[in-house]
Structure 1
Amino acid sequence: MQPFVYNALPARVIFGSGTLSQVASEIQRLGCSKALVLSTPGQAKKGEALKAELGALAVGLYSNAKMHTPTSVTEDALKLLQKLQADCIVALGGGSTIGLAKALALRTDLPQIVIPTTYSGSEGTSIIGQTENGRKTTQKSLKVLPEVIIYDVDLTLGLPAQTTITSGINAIAHAIEALYSAEANPITDSLAEQGIARLAGALPVLAKDLKNSEARSDALFGAWACGSCLGVVGMALHHKLCHTLGGTFDLPHAETHTVMLPHTIAYNTPFAVAPMAKAAHSLGAASAAQGVFDLAKGLGAPYSLKELGMKEADLERAADVAMSSPYPNPAPLEREKLLNLLRDAYEGKRPA
């Protein structure tokens, strides 16, 4: 057995169907009584319904969570939180809402209960990404790790096909990076392989039948597994590029991960042969890079940056921003090679 270091992250996970009904008891279990509910504008009605169900345990709803966690939105939400004297945060939604909950917890250290409705996996990590003045930065802190994660499979049954697929591949990206991380270990490797396999098996089923509860359950478990892996180890090239593209050029989060993942895998595979062989096996493919590309394209997901609205003229700038701060990665970071990677992703080429 290889030597390794593994730091388990403390979190209470409740998984099942109909588990949304347990939010009130979890607020009380934390010793709290004045929850601020968070959502995006698109899920405001669900946020209102949850607030009404919580009754006196909820003091308000903030329904303006935004993608990439802009600091201006966080400051706006913080004012409401302080005005209402909330003593905990309840986030209902995907990565945007959970990102806002983390940003508020970073500033207040209030406990969080998060109820994911997509497969972003953000809830399983102590990582927060925030955008200010067109620049997205990340940091790690246990202050942003949710105290309670409530997975309710029923909440994912209405998730649209496009969001289902792209957020699922976004989750797979967490596990892929965990496999070749400098901090990889046998425990996260096992969890990463499980997560990839569950999602790779569930997404084709859900593309044909969005209401398949067994596939929804597998996908939600896979998202937790993948997110938990990334929470333990460090991020590398893939997440760095996606944060650059999302924060600087305002590209959609999950779709950007979906487009970029095959190309970042291909860039790193020569320097991470064994880890990417594990990924390929979990995907049921001969090649991890081609397996992810074929999965995304075959399910109708976007597979080029051009489709997402990226301008070809901005590729040079994206490479410069990505190179501006060093970070661990299996393959050496070389600007021209990164630019070629970005060009391939822009055109939507299948990795060689």
Structure 2
Amino acid sequence: MRFVHETLCQRVVFAPGSAAEAVHDEVGSSRVMLIGTRLDVPAVLRWDEVVMHVPVAVAERARAAAAARQVEVIVSVGGGSATGLAKAVALTTGLPVVAVPTTYAGSEATNVWGLTANGRKTTGTDPRVLPRTVVYDATLTATLPTELAVASGLNALAHCVDSLWAPRADPINAALAGEGIRALMAALPDDREQMFYGTYLAAVAFASAGSGLHHKICHVLGGMFGLPHAQTHAVVLPHVLALNAPGAGGRITLDELQDLRRRVDAPRALRDYGFEEDQIPAAVEAILPVVPDNNPVPVNAGNLKQLLHDAWEGTR
């Protein structure tokens, strides 16, 4: 038992049916920038330009607007793209963020930021981007289509699974990830409150453990080829688990994941989301340099190319 574990400091509020009131309690009379879906919260700036993978140009426009309106706190309401934009503004301004998720992206519980420019997604960690408070209100997911709930929930599950072999994996992260796996697999796709519970555990484990092979692959695919975030994670996860199964510690098996995917009719193939077969070599070239050194199975051009081809084709 020799390891170093870091726990991030954050306030988490579960407020079913009362997100607006909970947010008001957190921000008081501060000058609010509201990013994403409208919520009944007074704001000096309402910002609805939210783009997947947070292009740098969008972040710069949001930062300029926040400065011009003398914003004091950012409230993000929406999925990972809304949270990601709030983080991008916080990264350079130091403004506190109150995150109100409406999907299971999990970004709200991490200090990870991501920005995309020239077809390449850059990620990093910074304490300034960790939301000061997260408000979970499952009623806000009422209009989330089942298909997207499934993809987003599998994205949350990927945070758990990747945490089992990520660069800073440790027994505490494994315990959080194990409970997150249990909650998410039982709740998908309809128990939205339990989904938020599992999502939070998954994100806390991921924030501490870091990005493993799965996330390195998906960040490249999203940044280079503009693939949708949640669906990409949902498609790629079983293929990474098939490769890395010895590192999962028995907390989830490939058969269990495949059974879940059949039950919820999960996204199956990257080609369904615009990824072309002839793009695989470029993806392999971009992924190989960022493969974590401690991945439980050696990764080379051959097995990575096969993994991506299987994910493109939708091979079981």
- TM-score over 0.5 for the pair: yes
Matches within 5 A, 1:327-346: 327-328=292-293, 329-346=295-312
- The answer as to whether partners of 2:216 and 2:291 remain within 8 angstroms in 1 is no
Secondary structure of the structure 2 residue equivalent to 1:137: strand
Structure 2: gaps spanning 5 or more residues: none
Select which of 293, 312, 331 maps to 2:277: 312
Counterpart CA distance in 2 for 1:222 and 1:9 is: 17
Q: Deviations over 1:34-75 (max 9, x none)?
A: 010001xxx3xxx1xx2xx333xx201010111111111101
What's the CA shift for 1:236? 1.4
Q: Which residue identity does 1:230 align to in structure 2?
A: F
- The answer as to whether partners of 1:126 and 1:141 remain within 8 angstroms in 2 is yes
- The answer as to whether partners of 2:213 and 2:291 remain within 8 angstroms in 1 is no
Secondary structure of the structure 2 residue equivalent to 1:138: strand
What's the CA shift for 1:269? 2.0
* 2:313 is aligned with 1:347: yes
* 2:250 is aligned with 1:277: yes
What's the CA shift for 1:125? 0.8
What's the CA shift for 1:186? 2.1
Secondary structure of the structure 2 residue equivalent to 1:54: coil
Q: Deviations over 1:92-127 (max 9, x none)?
A: 001000000111110111000000000111111111
What's the CA shift for 1:326? 4.9
Counterpart CA distance in 2 for 1:332 and 1:129 is: 26
Counterpart CA distance in 1 for 2:249 and 2:236 is: 16
Counterpart CA distance in 2 for 1:186 and 1:276 is: 11
- The answer as to whether partners of 1:124 and 1:231 remain within 8 angstroms in 2 is yes
Higher helix share: 1
Match of 1:178 in 2: 163
Select which of 27, 38, 46 maps to 2:35: 38
Q: Which residue identity does 1:294 align to in structure 2?
A: D
Matches within 5 A, 1:224-243: 224-243=200-219
Match of 1:152 in 2: 137
Secondary structure of the structure 2 residue equivalent to 1:182: coil
Q: Deviations over 1:307-348 (max 9, x none)?
A: 112110101111011113453322222011100110111111
Match of 1:120 in 2: 105
Counterpart CA distance in 2 for 1:121 and 1:85 is: 28
Superposition RMSD on alpha carbons, in Å?
1.4
Match of 2:25 in 1: 25
Structure 1: gaps spanning 5 or more residues: 207-214, 281-287
Counterpart CA distance in 1 for 2:292 and 2:164 is: 16
- The answer as to whether partners of 1:302 and 1:308 remain within 8 angstroms in 2 is no
TM-score (norm 1): 0.86
**Count of residue pairs the alignment pairs up:** 314
Match of 1:266 in 2: 242
Counterpart CA distance in 1 for 2:142 and 2:113 is: 27
- The answer as to whether partners of 1:19 and 1:150 remain within 8 angstroms in 2 is no
Match of 1:252 in 2: 228
- The answer as to whether partners of 2:160 and 2:203 remain within 8 angstroms in 1 is yes
- The answer as to whether partners of 2:54 and 2:116 remain within 8 angstroms in 1 is yes
What's the CA shift for 1:265? 1.1
TM-score (norm 2): 0.96
Counterpart CA distance in 2 for 1:134 and 1:108 is: 25
| Percent identical residues | 39
Q: Deviations over 1:261-306 (max 9, x none)?
A: 0011111124x2xx3411x2xxxxxxx2333233224322211111
Q: Which residue identity does 1:22 align to in structure 2?
A: A
Counterpart CA distance in 2 for 1:314 and 1:54 is: 44
Match of 1:54 in 2: 41
Match of 1:11 in 2: 10
Counterpart CA distance in 2 for 1:293 and 1:106 is: 38
